[in-house]
Amino acid sequence: MTRISLNRTSLTLTLMLAATLIASIGCTTKTYVREQTTPLINKTNELDDLTAKNSKDIKDVDQRAQAGIQDVQAKAAAADQKALAAGGDADKAQMAANTATQRVDMLTNTVINLDNYRPVVETAVHFGFNKDNLTKEAKEAIDQLAASVATTKGYIITVEGATDSVGGADYNYDLSQRRANAVIQYLAAEKSVPAYKIYLIGLGKDKPVESNKTAEGRAKNRRVDIRLMTNTEGGSTPAQAPASNPTPTASANPSL
């Protein structure tokens, strides 16, 4: 009986020792595994973070590259449009220059041959102080001259604008041009006279017909002389249109 009890006790101790040993081994194994795997897990996490950052950086670079390409393409398109516009402007400028050259050549030939022209109808229209608009009397005088255009062959019309001596030379020259232009526009718009048949001369104050020392003389110098001329002998019977000479209005300021 005593031997059986001892055997049981010995067996129990053996089992307890074995269990303790197994538990100790199990804990040691888990600790070892944890120590070995933790750095690997941490490294894997670092690699994942680095990969995510690289992907984001690549995406940002790609977006900037695409934006840069689009910006360059837009600037290139704008440059092409400007180049086309500049080319069009250059063509227009060249056409205008050619037209001006042709007009100058025509005018030069006309001036050279001016001695071959004779007046058919002449008149003068007058303007108010510092004015360039046509009065009723001025339009009537132009109407009388224009009535002879249809029966005149080989004609030209010379339009000479003038002012009195009051004021600066540059301003008076510009004013004389504006007065002559008013006559030209009326002839073209109301009388259908072709523009190439009309020759404008701005004289400023350089060709007075009366003394500028009096108000009456200055009023007569504020004028545009209009001449219908022909280089054809049988073009028309010369006639003299009555000049429009409105009575000058008294003014405290000298007239231009």
Per-residue pLDDT of the chain in tens (256 residues, 90 and over written 9):
555 555 556 666 666 666 665 655 555 565 665 666 666 666 667 766 777 777 777 777 767 777 777 777 787 778 777 777 777 777 777 776 666 566 555 555 555 556 678 888 999 999 998 899 999 999 999 999 999 998 988 899 999 998 988 888 899 899 999 999 999 999 999 999 998 888 888 777 878 888 889 999 999 989 999 999 988 765 554 444 444 443 333 333 334 4
Question: Which three-class secondary structure state does DSSP give residue 72?
Answer: helix
3-state SS, residue 122: strand
**Cβ pair 186, 192 in contact under 8 A:** no
Q: Residue 237: what are its φ and ψ, rounded to 5°?
A: -80, 120
Residue with tokens 């046509």: 134
Q: How many helices (H) and strands (E) does the chain have?
A: 4, 4
Question: What was the pLDDT predicted at 27?
Answer: 56
Q: Are 230 and 154 in contact (CB under 8 A)?
A: yes
SS3 (DSSP) at 126:
strand
The whole-model pTM stands at 0.49
